[in-house]
Amino acid sequence: IYTFIENAHSFLLLFSLYAAFNYRKANVLLETRQVAMKIFEDYTVSWYWIIIGLVISMVVSLVFIVLLRFLAGIMIWVMIVLVILVLGYGIFHCYMEYAHLKGQTGSDVSLMELGFQTDFRVYLHLKQTWLAFMIILCIMEVIIILLLIFLRKRILIAIALIKEASSFLSTSNEAVYKVFNDTECQYAGTTCKPETFSTSNVTKLCPGARCLFAFYGGETAYHKYLIVFQIFNIFMFFWLANFVIALGQVTLAGAFASYYWAFKKPDDMPAFPLFSSFGRALRYHTGSLAFGSLILAIVQVIRVILEYLDHKLKASENMFAKFLLTCFKCCFWCLEKFIKFLNRNAYIMIAIYGTNFCTSARNAFSLLMRNIIR
């Protein structure tokens, strides 16, 4: 009888835990579905506002480019002065808030004593918060003013370069657009019936499509290597996305270079500089772009794996492992930013001189180190 009662109690305990786990899992799924439905409803209600916003941003960008063609120097100096004025107003506002909180109860509490709070509005009632904001803004203001004093000649060179770039946009008679080519069959991966497949529209819309047997159930080779396939898909996504970005950067750099180094403008320029640069990039520089994108894709995949490990170790109490993982995440984040910056400058060197990726990256790095202050 004792054994029966103990087994029954264990069974009830396990059943309760299992039911509680299923209930929690069901709640998570329901909450996720509700959030997804709210997002979809917001899109259906406000889709026209999104389109209007995109059109307005496009028009404002075009107006800004046209104004740069004639008022580049004035607009840049106005933006610099506005930045200085905004920072000055921020310093004044922080000082007024700091003076307003003097003598109020609870405002003398330090940030260390308060600790971390989920409601960030609590920090706005402390004098130390506004004092820290005021010091940071003062440092930024002093740095910008010093840069304006000592690098004013470089700013004039930058204004001249922006004028040349805007002149290219007005001189070129070519439209910049993107072409999306969707060659993937829309019925790929869906279920089908062998009896009716040959008479359906799938074979007409997707020539070469076949209706094949997948599996009955259980673990197949697909399920066995599912993680490997997912990592491969993520890697290929990063590689192709970076390749498209690199192709766009090289194309634009080559188009601007053909204008900048033209002896007589626009007579010495190609008829279609953007398409000419795009053709050169595809014909001569595809390998360099693929290699640069490959290096960046490898670093990005490592970052995704580190994020996955960090998600798995959240419940762990091994502080050394968490510290080591955080250090790795920080290092690879910095490495990704550096590689993106170096790749962008290497692609410019590729578009101008036609050298391979390694030579262009070395020359770009040397050029940046020689002009690091600029």
> Average pLDDT in the 8-24 region?
43
pLDDT, residue 295, reads 94
Yes or no: say if 277 and 251 are a contact pair by the CB < 8 Å rule.
Answer: yes
Percent of the chain predicted with pLDDT > 70? 71
pTM: predicted TM-score of the whole model, two decimal places: 0.51
pLDDT, residue 244, reads 93
d(CA 47, CA 40): 10
Domain boundaries defined on the chain = 1-171, 173-219, 222-373
67-99 pLDDT, tens digit each: 777 777 787 788 888 999 999 999 999 888 888
| Nearest one of 138, 322, 165, 345 to 257, comparing CA atoms | 165
Q: Which of 159-168, 224-233, 271-280, 307-316 has the lowest mean pLDDT?
A: 159-168
Top-confidence residue, 221 or 4: 221
286-340 pLDDT, tens digit each: 999 999 999 999 999 999 988 888 887 777 777 788 888 889 889 999 999 999 9
pLDDT, residue 159, reads 75
CB contact set of 192 (below 8 Å; sequence gap of 6+): 200, 202, 211
pLDDT, residue 29, reads 53
* Confidence at 224, pLDDT banded by 50, 70, 90: low
Yes or no: say if 235 and 332 are a contact pair by the CB < 8 Å rule.
Answer: no
* Confidence at 360, pLDDT banded by 50, 70, 90: very high
H-only helix segments in the chain: 2-100, 111-114, 127-150, 152-171, 194-197, 202-205, 221-224, 226-260, 273-284, 286-312, 319-353, 357-370
pLDDT, residue 2, reads 35
Q: Round the average pLDDT of the chain to a whole number and report it.
A: 77
Distance of CA 302 to the CA centre of its chain: 16
pLDDT, residue 8, reads 44
pLDDT, residue 5, reads 37
